Structure 1
């Protein structure tokens, strides 16, 4: 981890290095929240977007973080409904997130009750980086304006909008995905989890290890 921070000092403009480090080190805590929308004030009380614009741009340009915007409306093209005030910020690699979270091997393999929220962060990070390898899709997320419903990822593939809900635990209830599907009737709704492949009447469960194959599913 020290090597990354040393590289910040070597390659980034000197005046933004402290904010790059603060932003970088805040990412695990941001992803551990139930609502993973990035909140600047959680970096430092009173912080605003403009305080970290250059630091974030530098990290994105270097490929060290991935920014996933909220789509205000699940309609084509998603770019037209991009909400620049709401986004999630992911690292480039799930192993890096685990290292920054000081998660040991035993906890990763066995898990425990106090690890559940961060396990969700790791799983969502893994899914994001797998989908980023597929150049056929554009990745957003979706949340309702005045409700708690949220879709972890909302994909645009060809002429289709595909909601994806990520599950890290045994409980496979997909309440938000069901609400979204009932309202918007997408051609395909994906839940990705540790469970085997299964196609139900309104959703398809895609195993986590196969998430990169999402565009090969028949609509």
Structure 2
């Protein structure tokens, strides 16, 4: 399947300032496939080594950081004659060998002509647990689930994807209902590569849901295997609460929804573990919709989103008919799916940081706020065709020159200070 990240990997290879590469991302988002596909298409040779439960790899990096010796040992382990420029060295599941991460510094300083990339399912956790991270000596690339454009390409809708990519809204207009239907399919299937592959090949909805459930079980097993023992129960509570927190009118994360009397100090570490593992996205509130957004960030008030819209539906046990067939779903459910989708699309485009804004009395609520080309960009998300919004109208009236985007199920339309973009064109 086509992945946009391959283009970023090619840019990394050709960069004059190339450094050893760290691929970040949750389990099952396709990191290993991406690196191996990249090696197959862009290099003559691949030296692929799995670090997990590999004592020989641990011995290679535990001894010292003599890069000449390490390269010799990697040649022996991979059975590949590693040479500069035409060989990609891949260290997979590298979180099991922290010294290998530290060694990247010495690859950069002593052997920059060698191309090396590492990946790990819980690498974000490892990097927050005392690993000597080679600051300034590595490049990093975040890998996310397949976005809507990649999904369209995978299921044979390349022409539709091309029209959306070109922003050819005049040609898209007659296909509006079709695009809405395709978006509903993505809401159900999501972007986990295994689920997308199954759907593209068979269209089997129950098989897709079984794959999603299997992935979720794998994540929950990771809680018990890798999280601090005193945090496992709290992590599970936070994890299971995400659908109910997101499918309500006020999507702000409420600790009291976990259990009566729950406080931030009790669950902060559990939440950060899930965020560091790549399983949840945390969007903080800003107290004021003004630049720079970071100085108005309220770290104790936030919304939590799932890794993937398809997994979110599986977590909530939604029936396929609820999502794929037009029905009178409750507004909060539809709204939660739409917000999750827009956040995922922004993440896949490496848009960061992302905030939201609301007042304590809820008179003003902005779903997302980002900084774009030095300007403040408010983003409103509407799940259907009803787009009335007093909050956004008030903000635009009170802030001359401000431009905003509204995503909804309505066709594309430009207005003086507001552009309506169909959700499927996000």
Q: Does the TM-score normalized on the shorter chain lie above 0.5?
A: yes
Residues 114-193 of structure 1 mapped to structure 2, 5 A cutoff: 114-185=329-400, 187-193=402-408
User: Which residue is equivalent to 1:217?
Assistant: none
TM-superposition CA deviations, 1:83-124 (whole Å, max 9, x none): 122110111111111111111111102243343311110110
Among 37, 44, 69, the alignment partner of 2:259 is 44
Moved more, 26-35 or 184-193: 184-193
**1:135 offset after TM fit, Å?**
2.9
Partners of 1:147 and 1:8 in 2: CA distance: 35
Residues 72-151 of structure 1 mapped to structure 2, 5 A cutoff: 72-151=287-366
1:113 counterpart SS class: coil
User: Which residue is equivalent to 2:92?
Assistant: none
TM-superposition CA deviations, 1:22-42 (whole Å, max 9, x none): 000001111111111111011
Partners of 1:58 and 1:124 in 2: CA distance: 23
**TM-score scaled to structure 1, two decimals?**
0.91
Among 53, 57, 63, the alignment partner of 2:272 is 57
**1:53 offset after TM fit, Å?**
1.3
User: Which residue is equivalent to 2:231?
Assistant: 16
**TM-score scaled to structure 2, two decimals?**
0.48
Contact 1:136–1:158 under 8 Å retained in 2: no
Contact 1:142–1:150 under 8 Å retained in 2: yes
**1:187 offset after TM fit, Å?**
3.0
Contact 1:138–1:157 under 8 Å retained in 2: no
TM-superposition CA deviations, 1:99-153 (whole Å, max 9, x none): 1111111110224334331111011001001111233543100112444220100
User: Paired residues, what number?
Assistant: 211
Contact 1:162–1:186 under 8 Å retained in 2: no
2:385 counterpart SS class: coil
1:38 counterpart SS class: coil
Contact 1:174–1:191 under 8 Å retained in 2: no
Structure 1: runs of 5+ lacking an equivalent: 212-219
Contact 2:384–2:410 under 8 Å retained in 1: no
**1:2 offset after TM fit, Å?**
2.1
**1:16 offset after TM fit, Å?**
0.7
Higher strand fraction: Structure 1 or Structure 2? 1
Moved more, 139-148 or 121-130: 139-148
Structure 2: runs of 5+ lacking an equivalent: 1-215
Q: CA, structure 1 residues 13+136, in 2 after alignment: closer, same or farther (shift >3 Å)?
A: closer
**1:195 offset after TM fit, Å?**
1.7
Partners of 1:110 and 1:170 in 2: CA distance: 16
Contact 1:194–1:208 under 8 Å retained in 2: yes
User: Which residue is equivalent to 2:192?
Assistant: none
Partners of 2:347 and 2:402 in 1: CA distance: 21
**1:180 offset after TM fit, Å?**
1.4
Partners of 2:353 and 2:369 in 1: CA distance: 8
RMSD of aligned Cα (Å): 1.5
User: Which residue is equivalent to 2:414?
Assistant: 199
1:58 counterpart SS class: helix
TM-superposition CA deviations, 1:15-66 (whole Å, max 9, x none): 2111000000001111111111111011111000011111111101101111
